[in-house]
Structures are given as structure tokens and as C-alpha cells.
Chains A and B, each alone.
Chain A
Amino acid sequence: MSYEIIESCVNCWACVPLCPSDAIYEAKPHFMINKKKCTECDGDFISAQCASICPIEEAIIDSSGDFLNPEGSLTGISPDCRSQVMVEIQAR
């Protein structure tokens, strides 16, 4: 039972101090989760803290390899309406 940080991570530090299990550490080329320590925040928080503050979509995956923050989930703009939103923004 563990989450994993992958290469889209931008090393922003946001997740590190929040982890209740002290599982996240600075590493190159990107931060890492110690698989032995990660509890998926079970028993501590309703939502995984790293995934709740991570500003980057598709940077953290669960044990089945799914993104915790899939594309569009953080910008609030789903991939289908992206081009339409772009037109709106460019008209500003």
C-alpha cells in the first residue's frame, strides 16, 4: 500500500511537510515516496495529503498506476473544453 511520485514532479516541496508518515524525501531528479513508510494517509486523513496539495497533474500515482490528479483535474478544465477556454481567455 503506497503511492508513488513520478517524473512530472517539479520538486516544489509542498507535500513533504504534510506527510503524516514522514515518507516523502528530497531526491534527484525528483522527490520520492518511501514505499515502506507510506500509509496512503489511512487513519490520519480522509484524503492523501501529498495528492491534495501537489500542484502538478499526473505527478503522483496509486498502486494500480492511476493518476491521483489526472489531466484537467487541477486547472478545472477538462481536456475536451481546453481549446474553447483558450479562445475565451485570448479574447480578454
Chain B
Amino acid sequence: MMELNAADLTTKNIDEGCSSSGCGGSNDQLSHLPEHIREKVHDHPCYSEEAHHYYARMHVAVAPACNIQCHYCNRKYDCANESRPGVVSELLTPDQAVKKVMAVAANIPQMTVLGIAGPGDPLANPERTFDTFRQLTDKAPDIKLCVSTNGLTLPEQVEELCQHNIDHVTITINCVDPDVGAKIYPWIFWNNRRIKGRRGAKILIEQQQKGLEMLTEKGILVKVNSVLIPGVNDQHLEEVSKVVKAKGAFLHNVMPLIAEAEHGTFYGVMGQRGPESLELQELQDKCSGDMNMMRHCRQCRADAVGMLGEDRGDEFTMDKIELMEVDYDDAMQKRAEYHASIETKREAQKNKNNETFISISSIKRHKKKQSRPVLMAVATNGGGIINQHFGHAKEFLVYEASEMDVRFIGHRKVDLYCSGDKTCGETETTLEKIIKTLNGCEAVLCSKIGYEPWEMLEEAGIQPNGEHAMEVIEDAIAAVYIEMVKAGLADKNISDSEMQIRA
């Protein structure tokens, strides 16, 4: 529904030939973008309200080297910006990566986007990265490619990037001020020398901004990621947001710093803290504005192999892939059919959602009293329905229900670095972590939940709810919200007093 709204508004503005300055009303979330970029975002399956329930992205680790140091990164592991810390991917050669992508794509039709994000910086490994892209553009033309980079060598590689099936580029931009940068980047490797401190940060920032401008000019979508580092760039990211959007970034995505001593990063070891959930959300709201349909891009399921609920990673280890025969033409045909069926399903669900929203807005008319918005978390395996056991959830989707509608707010990842591994922590601490992650949510909807977590959640003021298993997420949230309103749990005054407590 929000997608429809946002889309309608934007289309209208384009139709009327309205200049962005003329009607940059709060509803036209894309008004800051040049028109050719705007259209591209529009047609894109990945960035719409609910498409991410159906489509997935996978990463291949072909790019080991990196040319800068970030204080939140430990080079023993994958790039901290793109994956959970402490993860080491199996390094693949370009040939192996291509084989793996084709095998996964033939077996998991949801897989639509292939990303190279590491384990180092893809553009610091141009030969390996571009060899992979070249082969895939040729052999699997229905797969969109994306790449993430720190931006240092981006300007000189824009030309080459344009030769491939590149869908979007993600640049990690944590600052536009070298003084802030000096606290994040101790050095860069530039023109065959190491350049330290503010001087290095300045070069990095200039290269990032130049690369962003060049890509926008070429019509390639650019998403900007920033890591929110409390006390370093928290005050600065709003400025970053303004600058990058003015230069054509279609989405600014703020992610939390994850810094634990055991990851061995500079920040982790030195005791730099990460942001609280609410601190993060506040900034995310400021930076992405109300770009609902964009928020999903924040996290296409990073790993298609794990998308289907059960982890199928074991089916696609390199030795098994070597033995697989993939008839990609045939697979591509099947993928096209599958994608068409997804689109039909999405269309149907959209219509259904409209009904829900009508019933939500009708509460307002019956009741004099005003209700406040409520945050709820959902455990899902995808498909847009509530279908995951609480205990299996590695991330939650957070929605806000209000008198007006149900809108998607964002993903909250649970840091289960060693999920299932007995060596690190009791279940209780894991649960405590989850509860902290859900800070600010008043209900959590899942297909099932155990007795112990139920009690702990209730104690923490988060109402567990397993009554809406297999229902469409938005419908279920609307139903729970209506019940809360009826029970007087969502009255306006509660919100006020609660705000005071929070403040």
C-alpha cells in the first residue's frame, strides 16, 4: 500500500513535469533525484515495499584485498560493512564464483541479484571482480550485478563498471569531513604509498564524492551506506545524507556500528560503543526520510542460499558444485516463469492489503480518542507472511502500526555470531540480546514461541503473539493493533508518558 502511494505520487509528479523544487513535498521521496535515476528506481523489483520478501541476493567472496583501513574492521574476517563481523567466507576464484552463482540461480529462482562485496574491497581487486562480472553478464544475463566499495579507486573504474550488467553500486561513506574521517580511517593506500590520518581521509572523501557523481551521470543507481559510530559521526550523518542525495544517491542507508572486543577490531578493543536500537532508528528516520519503499533495499536477504528458511548452504559447497551440470538456458526460462508468478502474487497481495488499511482507518471514525503509533516486530522466512519460529529468527522486521496504516520501518539483526554453538554464551544471554534488539517494540509476532522466551519477553514489556501464524504480515499487525486500540493499550497519553521515560 505504501508502495502504491509513494509510486503514485512520484509518477504524478513526473507526469505533470513538476520540477523537484516546485513540489518537493514530503510525499515525493524521490524528488531529489535526476529523472533518469528516478525512473530506474521505480521499475526496480528490489526497492519496492514488499518485493524483498520474494527476491534475494547472494554474495560471492572473490575480492580479498583492501586498500584502506577502517577502525571497525578486522582483516582476519570479511568486510565489516557488508557482513556480520567474525565471518570468514571461502575465497573463490572468479571461475568458481561464476559456477556457484549459476548453480544457485538454477536451483533457487528467488536469487536475482549477485553482489561482490568482499571479503576486502571489490575495486581493490579489479581483475578478479571484473572477470567475475564479465563472465556473468555473458552467461547469466538475467542476473543483476551489484558491487560495494569504499570508493577509493571508484572514479578510475566507472568506465569499466558500465560495461557490465551493473544494477547498482554501494559506496560506504561515513563522512564528508576529513576531521571526522581521521577518527574512522587511520590510513589509506594511495599512489603506491600509505597515507595516514586526515590527509588520507581527505583523499578518500574526494574520491568517493567524485565516484558518486560520475556514476549518477552514467545513470547507475548508487546507494550509500554509512556506519553510525556514536560520538564520531552521529552528529555528522545528517550532513552526509544531504550531500550524497544532492549528488544523486537514491538511498542513504545508516547501519549500526558493531564493535565487540572479541572481534579484534580497533573500535572493539578500545571499547567504542555501538548505537542503541532507538538511537539508530532515529537517525535512519532522519536520513532515509520516509522512504518506505526504499528501506527494503537496506537488506535484501544477504544470502540467497539461506533465504528459504532452512539453510541450504551445504548443498552448494564448491566440491558439490563442481559436479553439478547446469543447463542455464533452461534454468533461465524457469526463472522467468517463477518471477512472473511472484509478480502476480504481489499484485494480489497489494489489493488485499488495501482492504486492511481501510479497516484500520475506520477505527478513527468510530473512536473519538486518538491512538498512538506502535512498533511491532515480526519473525518471517520470507513470502510476506508470519512463518518463523521465534527461536529461529536471526533478524526481525519492524513495522509501525498507526491509525493511518502499517508501515515497514526496518530490519533488526540479532547478533548471534555463533548461533547454535554452545561455546559462546547461554541461551539466556542470547535471549537478552534479542530483547535488547527489540527495544521499543511492544509486540513480536511469530509462528511459534517457547515458554521461556514468552515469559521473558512479557517481562520486558514486549507481548509475544503466535496467533497469526501463516497470515500476511500487514494484516496480522493491523489485527493486533486494532485489539490494542480496543483494549486501550494504544491511547495517546500512554505514549506521552512513555516518551518522557525514554527521554
Contact (Cβ within 8 A) A16 B270: no
From A12, A52, A90, contact of B272 by CB (8 A): A90
Complex interface: chain B residues within 8 A of A17 (CB): 65, 125, 127
Complex interface: chain B residues within 8 A of A45 (CB): 192
A57-92 contacts to B, CB under 8 A, are 74-76, 85-86, 89-92
CA distance A56 to B276 in the complex (A): 30
A12 and B64 contact, Cβ closer than 8 Å, known pairs A17-B125, A52-B192, A76-B197:
yes
Contact string against B for A residues 1-20, beta-carbon threshold 8 Å, 1 for contact and 0 otherwise: 00000000010111011100
Contact (Cβ within 8 A) B194 A47: yes
- A46 on the B face (CB < 8 A): yes
CA distance A56 to B194 in the complex (A): 13
Most interface-central of B197, B270, B271, B273 (chain A CB within 10 A): B270
Contact (Cβ within 8 A) A47 B193: yes
Complex interface: chain A residues within 8 A of B273 (CB): 90, 92
CA distance A52 to B192 in the complex (A): 7
Complex interface: chain B residues within 8 A of A27 (CB): none
Contact (Cβ within 8 A) A13 B120: yes
- B66 on the A face (CB < 8 A): yes
Contact (Cβ within 8 A) B271 A74: no
Distance between B195 CB and nearest chain A CB, rounded to angstroms: 10
Smallest CB gap from B70: residue in A: A55
Contact (Cβ within 8 A) B270 A55: no
Contact (Cβ within 8 A) B192 A14: no
Distance between B194 CB and nearest chain A CB, rounded to angstroms: 5
CA distance A53 to B192 in the complex (A): 8
Smallest CB gap from A54: residue in B: B194
Most interface-central of A17, A56, A92 (chain B CB within 10 A): A92
Distance between B312 CB and nearest chain A CB, rounded to angstroms: 28
Complex interface: chain A residues within 8 A of B65 (CB): 12-14, 16-17, 53
Distance between B285 CB and nearest chain A CB, rounded to angstroms: 22
Interface size on B, residues (CB 8 A): 29
Distance between A41 CB and nearest chain B CB, rounded to angstroms: 9
Complex interface: chain A residues within 8 A of B91 (CB): 13
Contact (Cβ within 8 A) B193 A12: no
- A49 on the B face (CB < 8 A): yes
Contact (Cβ within 8 A) B64 A52: no
Complex interface: chain A residues within 8 A of B67 (CB): 14, 53
B188-228 contacts to A, CB under 8 A, are 189, 192-194, 196-197
CA distance A89 to B257 in the complex (A): 14
Complex interface: chain A residues within 8 A of B120 (CB): 12-14
Distance between A35 CB and nearest chain B CB, rounded to angstroms: 22
From B69, B125, B187, B232, contact of A92 by CB (8 A): B232
Complex interface: chain B residues within 8 A of A46 (CB): 192-193
Contact string against A for B residues 58-79, beta-carbon threshold 8 Å, 1 for contact and 0 otherwise: 0000001111010000011000
Distance between A79 CB and nearest chain B CB, rounded to angstroms: 13
Most interface-central of A10, A14, A16 (chain B CB within 10 A): A14
CA distance A90 to B271 in the complex (A): 5
Contact (Cβ within 8 A) A92 B231: yes
CA distance A76 to B273 in the complex (A): 20
Complex interface: chain B residues within 8 A of A10 (CB): 75-76
Complex interface: chain A residues within 8 A of B272 (CB): 89-90, 92
Complex interface: chain B residues within 8 A of A14 (CB): 64-67, 75, 120, 124, 189
Smallest CB gap from A52: residue in B: B194
Contact string against A for B residues 175-189, beta-carbon threshold 8 Å, 1 for contact and 0 otherwise: 000000000001101
Contact (Cβ within 8 A) A86 B271: yes
Contact string against A for B residues 35-78, beta-carbon threshold 8 Å, 1 for contact and 0 otherwise: 00000000000000000000000000000111101000001100
Sorted nearest first, the 6 A-B pairs with minimum C-beta distance are A92-B231, A13-B64, A90-B271, A14-B65, A12-B75, A53-B189
A-B contact pairs, 8 of them (CB 8 A): A12-B75, A14-B75, A17-B65, A53-B65, A55-B69, A56-B75, A86-B270, A92-B230
14 other A-B residue contacts (CB within 8 Å) besides A47-B194, A55-B75, A75-B266: A12-B75, A14-B64, A14-B75, A14-B124, A17-B125, A17-B127, A18-B192, A47-B192, A53-B189, A53-B194, A76-B186, A89-B272, A90-B271, A92-B230
